[in-house]
Structure 1
């Protein structure tokens, strides 16, 4: 575990707040991208714009997983939609470690550092998250875990 600076703690707390915007009944994830202590973008796990997030879709995992966009990718997409580069930024994530698919998007967006609250991973997510450390290391992305 990494000791966080006061700014890191502030940004993790903001990512936690963003996670509450998710309508997912079982897991709420929040992400914020920051550069030079300025928030560039936010994201939370949820359905794409224009897709109805009904209880029927949200409460059946097999259906929900077909629609949900992870918080990290929503943060990247929201930045792109607004013409904001995430190059050389830090991504703060509250909720779960980064999955392999999101790690690829994070690298492509030019993020240099990722701070996640905990490395604790539910069993059903271990396969998806398993390669992330290796992928980030090879790409030169700092990946830190911290407790708040």
Structure 2
């Protein structure tokens, strides 16, 4: 019996997909993990800052209410992006993520996989955090 093992990239993207299920955003479900030397160092998902109400608790999306299109004005949002939360969670735990790999997964509110490329703000955080690679799921290739 020859069982196919998923590649490491597919394996870690699938873990990021599971992390995304914790997201509290009406628009997207996004998850991120940071891996170094085959060890998961941190996880993060799209959600409101700690000790604040998320969109589910408020029963609305500020961006939807203001008709802000996807890809614009991210500063007008209650949520923190998955990759930001992942980097923040590592820092809060005192874990060095220098030279780690970031895996990102995202799907829309209808369950359709999306390009999970970091926004401009997240790109700057990723660079300054010293992450080596960013591996993203895409709507064309999936995981």
Same fold (TM over 0.5): yes
Q: Which sections of structure 2, spanning at least 5 residues, go unmatched?
A: 1-5, 69-73, 107-115
Structure 1 residue 58: Cα displacement = 4.0
1:84 counterpart = 2:100 = no
Please show how residues 1-148 of structure 1 align to structure 2 within 5 Å: 6-55=7-56, 56=58, 58-61=60-63, 62=66, 65-95=76-106, 96-118=116-138, 147-148=142-143
Structure 1 residue 29: Cα displacement = 0.5
1:4-34 residue CA offsets vs partner (Å, 9 max, x unmatched): x711111000000000001212201000000
Residues 101, 7 of structure 1: alpha-carbon distance in 2 compared, 3 angstrom cutoff = same
Structure-2 separation of matches of 1:32 and 1:54: 23
State how many pairs are aligned: 119
Residue 28 of structure 1: SS of its match in structure 2? strand
Structure-2 separation of matches of 1:119 and 1:98: 14
What TM-score results when the alignment is normalised by the length of structure 1?
Answer: 0.73
CA RMSD of aligned residues (A): 2.1
Larger radius of gyration: 2
What TM-score results when the alignment is normalised by the length of structure 2?
Answer: 0.75
Structure 1 residue 52: Cα displacement = 1.4
Structure 1 residue 119: Cα displacement = 6.4
Structure 1 residue 79: Cα displacement = 0.1
Structure 1 residue 53: Cα displacement = 1.6
CA contact (8 A) 1:85 1:109 kept: no
Structure-2 separation of matches of 1:58 and 1:33: 30
Structure 1 residue 54: Cα displacement = 4.8
Structure-2 separation of matches of 1:16 and 1:48: 20
